[in-house]
């Protein structure tokens, strides 16, 4: 769940200082989130990229995934691929909150768009901007997370990035693989999260005490993040499938979000 950085209505800070505070607050929130949630993110990716029932390495549940990873790859395996998001998350979160405020100001200047719609549009645009920055880091992260070797046997983040660049370059088959799905994932998530959060927050009266007010914002943020995650999960699955190992080595099965979505529908619908 992302934190929401809100400038107070009667801010005593200069615009430059306020912008810096938004960058810093977003960056710190991202660092804490990655540090705490990375093991769950890794297990999520493992589930998203695993093959059908015939896969000998298939996980049957979250507990099964945890036990097999711990037994076969070691305790440190839960932090495979943590360096790319740590490197990217601080600037990513900073860009998310900073650009959301700037897009909000831009759409508001048109004076024809309802404020409730401005929040959704600003969230969408901030997510698209964020996705362009984060995608190369996501490609490296997913490759590291998909590696089933023991943590000590795994190549470093720098070595993995060099391998991707050497073999596939910087384009749509290299560091920008799966960009369309990443755009969808971050654009949809931010659109729903920011739009829902700010609209609902304005409808619910403020609490009388500071502690209750923090609880009110946390609850709204939790609900906003949950709804946004549920809606954008198809993009997230497609991103992992496209950026992760393909079912047949050397043969690219998942190239685009549309192709992966069609494949998904054939299997599950």
User: Are the beta carbons of 265 and 42 closer than 8 angstroms?
Assistant: no
Closest CA to 127 of 102, 95, 164: 95
CA distance to 27, 48, 239, 242, 255, per residue, from 259 (Å): 34, 16, 12, 10, 7
At a CB cut-off of 8 Å and minimum separation 6, what does 196 contact? 223, 224, 227, 228
Closest CA to 228 of 201, 199, 193: 193
pLDDT of residue 9: 46
Q: Which residues pair with 105 in a beta bridge?
A: none
CA distance to 78, 110, 204, 228, 244, per residue, from 196 (Å): 32, 22, 12, 9, 31
pLDDT of residue 39: 93
pLDDT of residue 25: 75
CA gap 148, 124 in Å, rounded? 35
Closest CA to 99 of 127, 71, 73, 134: 127
Torsion of CA 27, 30, 35, 40, to 10 degrees: -170
Q: What is the pLDDT along the chain (269 residues), one digit of tens a residue?
A: 455 555 444 456 777 787 777 677 767 877 888 889 999 999 999 999 887 777 777 898 999 999 999 998 999 999 999 999 888 877 787 788 889 989 999 999 998 999 999 999 999 999 999 999 999 999 999 999 998 888 888 888 999 999 999 998 988 888 999 999 999 999 999 999 999 999 999 888 888 888 899 999 999 999 999 999 999 999 999 899 899 887 666 556 666 556 555 554 544 44
Q: DSSP 3-state assignment of 251?
A: strand
pLDDT of residue 148: 86
Q: Which residues pair with 248 in a beta bridge?
A: 251
Length of the chain: 269
What six digits make up the tokens of 5? 């950085």
User: Are the beta carbons of 206 and 216 closer than 8 angstroms?
Assistant: yes
* DSSP string across 182-194: HHHHHHHHHHHHH
Torsion-angle region of 244 (φ positive above 0: left; ψ -120 to 50: alpha; else: beta): beta
What six digits make up the tokens of 256? 């685009």
pLDDT of residue 257: 56
User: Are the beta carbons of 22 and 97 closer than 8 angstroms?
Assistant: yes
Burial degree of 129 (CB within 10 A; 0-12, 13-18, 19+): buried
Quote the Cα angle for 236-103-91, to 5°: 55
pLDDT of residue 31: 83
pLDDT of residue 260: 52
Q: DSSP 3-state assignment of 248?
A: strand
């Amino acid at each position: 769940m992302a934190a929401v950085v809100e400038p107070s209505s009667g801010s005593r800070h200069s615009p430059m200082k306020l912008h810096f505070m938004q960058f810093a607050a977003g960056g710190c929130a991202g660092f804490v989130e990655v540090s705490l949630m990375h093991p769950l993110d890794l297990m999520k990716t493992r589930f998203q990229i695993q093959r059908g029932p015939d896969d000998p390495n298939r996980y049957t549940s979250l507990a099964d995934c945890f036990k097999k990873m711990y037994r076969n790859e070691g305790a440190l395996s839960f932090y495979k691929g943590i360096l790319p998001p740590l490197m990217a998350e601080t600037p990513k979160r900073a860009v998310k909150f900073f650009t959301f405020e700037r897009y909000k100001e831009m759409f508001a200047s048109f004076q024809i768009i309802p404020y409730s719609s401005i929040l959704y549009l600003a969230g969408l645009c901030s997510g698209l901007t964020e996705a362009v920055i984060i995608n190369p880091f996501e490609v490296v992260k997913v490759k590291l997370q998909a590696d089933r070797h023991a943590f000590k046997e795994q190549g470093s983040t720098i070595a993995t990035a060099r391998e991707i660049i050497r073999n596939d370059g910087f384009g749509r088959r290299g560091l920008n693989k799966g960009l369309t799905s990443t755009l969808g994932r971050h654009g949809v998530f931010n659109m729903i999260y920011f739009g829902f959060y700010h609209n609902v927050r304005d409808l619910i009266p403020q609490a009388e005490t500071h502690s209750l007010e923090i609880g009110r914002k946390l609850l709204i943020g939790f609900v906003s993040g949950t709804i946004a995650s549920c809606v954008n999960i198809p993009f997230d699955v497609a991103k992992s499938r496209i950026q992760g190992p393909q079912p047949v080595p050397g043969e690219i099965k998942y190239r685009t979000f549309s192709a992966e979505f069609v494949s998904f529908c054939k299997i599950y619908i």
